[in-house]
Structure 1
Amino acid sequence: MAGRILTVAQQKGGSGKTTLAAHIAVALGRMSGLPVAILDVDPQGSLGTWFEAREDSLGEDATGLAFRTASGWGSRREARSLARDHGFVVVDTPPKTDTDAKPAIDAADYVIVPIQPTPVDLWATKQTIDLAARESTPALLVLNRVPPRASLTQEMAAAIAQSGYDALTARLGNRTGYAASMGNGQTVMEAAPSSKAAAEMATLIEELTRRIG
């Protein structure tokens, strides 16, 4: 049985897409015990740069992940090839372009859409949701970089529910630990395993794996 392909996509820039992709990949590997691969489809190559830092930090044989790159229509073929040998494949896509994101979304079992809790971000997310719908791929929103102002977050959660979009209840706070750990090729689960950020990621992965099976 092929593994699950999870494509992280968001047409709006600045959503924390690559950071979320890296954290999901590492957390899935640690919590599921299954082999995980990451596929960088973004021409900016941020996920690849993170993986190189990970190799430097942990050693080439200790990353816990397989890594590949692809572009355009090749991403669909590469994702499906990786899924034959891995329990999960996490794909990072470029913002603001349907051409490169579409094949990766088409290949996916689920699209994970990070969204900051602001009205502008919710409006901009419609483009990504529509793209997933055209490829008949279910999309799950993840509230990311959530500020401590509970009132705005609750308002946005209600707005998401009213929009009809499917979203995880687990949320990730606006914490410096996520970005700081990425600089060393790691994630918060490794750099700060006792932190609130690490606990948030564990909660998110528990909910995500329940949802995707």
Structure 2
Amino acid sequence: MSGRIITIAQQKGGSGKTTVAAHLAVALARGGGRVVLVDCDPQGSLGEWFEAREQTLGEDRTGLAFRTASGWGARREARALGRDYDFVVIDTPPKSDVESRPAIEAASLVAVPVQPTPIDLWATQPTLEMVAKEGIASLIVINRALSRVGLTQEITEAIRALGHPAAATRLGNRVAFAASMGDGLTVMETSPGSKGADEVEALALEIRAQLGV
């Protein structure tokens, strides 16, 4: 059986795509999967994170593999990597449907991180429409949710109006996520057992269930 390809896509900038991609990849690897990250974003933030991870942990101790790709090459690269890895996690660039589409076309599941505000949800619609057009399963991932504020009725209704499933697990607005990324790590490694770590691990389990693995 070929590996599952999880594309992290969101045309709206500032949604936390790279942080979600890195954390999800590490969580899947910690769960026993062979995982490769593919950076399709020309900004290269995920690549910088991975280089920091190699420096922090050692090149042979990252627990992950890493590749870069762009445009149509992302689809080809992802499918090829799927023959050797259990999970291929792709980080896509914001604002460009041309660059993101090949990675979406190759996906088993497209995870769409979005901040829990009506404006952010509305801005997510083009990404979801592109995913739906390709007939790929999607999952909205609420990111940077304020821990002391429950999702209001307005936001809950806005999520439903999008017509796409949302993950039951929400990632909190926690400084620990960004702080861990600076050293090429994740909150599961810098703050094991914390609420942030628990959230990421729960999201990884939820995505595994969505993929049937």
TM range (shorter): over 0.9
Q: Which residue of 1 aligns with 2:165?
A: 166
TM-score between the two structures when normalised by the length of structure 2: 0.96
Q: Tell whether 2:18 aligns with 1:21.
A: no
Q: Encode CA deviations 1:42-63: one digit per residue, 9 max, x unaligned.
A: 0000000000000000000000
TM-score between the two structures when normalised by the length of structure 1: 0.96
Change (3 A) 1:154 1:189: farther
How far does residue 67 in structure 1 lie from its aligned partner after superposition?
A: 0.4
Inter-partner Cα distance in structure 2 for 1:169 and 1:157? 12
RMSD after superposition: 1.1
Q: Which amino acid aligns with 1:104?
A: A
Inter-partner Cα distance in structure 2 for 1:166 and 1:191? 31
Inter-partner Cα distance in structure 1 for 2:61 and 2:146? 34
Q: Which residue of 2 aligns with 1:199?
A: 198
Q: Among the aligned pairs, what percent are the same residue?
A: 61
Inter-partner Cα distance in structure 2 for 1:154 and 1:168? 17
Inter-partner Cα distance in structure 2 for 1:148 and 1:56? 33
How far does residue 8 in structure 1 lie from its aligned partner after superposition?
A: 0.1
Q: Which residue of 1 aligns with 2:8?
A: 8
Contact preservation (8 Å) 1:39, 1:90? yes
Q: Which amino acid aligns with 2:197?
A: A
Q: Encode CA deviations 1:189-209: one digit per residue, 9 max, x unaligned.
A: 111102110011111111111
How far does residue 151 in structure 1 lie from its aligned partner after superposition?
A: 4.3
Inter-partner Cα distance in structure 2 for 1:152 and 1:104? 30
Q: Which amino acid aligns with 1:197?
A: G
Inter-partner Cα distance in structure 1 for 2:102 and 2:66? 18
Contact preservation (8 Å) 1:181, 1:188? yes
Q: Which amino acid aligns with 2:35?
A: V
Question: How many residue pairs get matched?
Answer: 212
- Identify the range of structure 1 (155-164 vs 44-53) with the bigger mean alpha-carbon deviation: 155-164
Change (3 A) 1:153 1:180: farther
Q: Which residue of 2 aligns with 1:96?
A: 95
Contact preservation (8 Å) 1:18, 1:46? yes
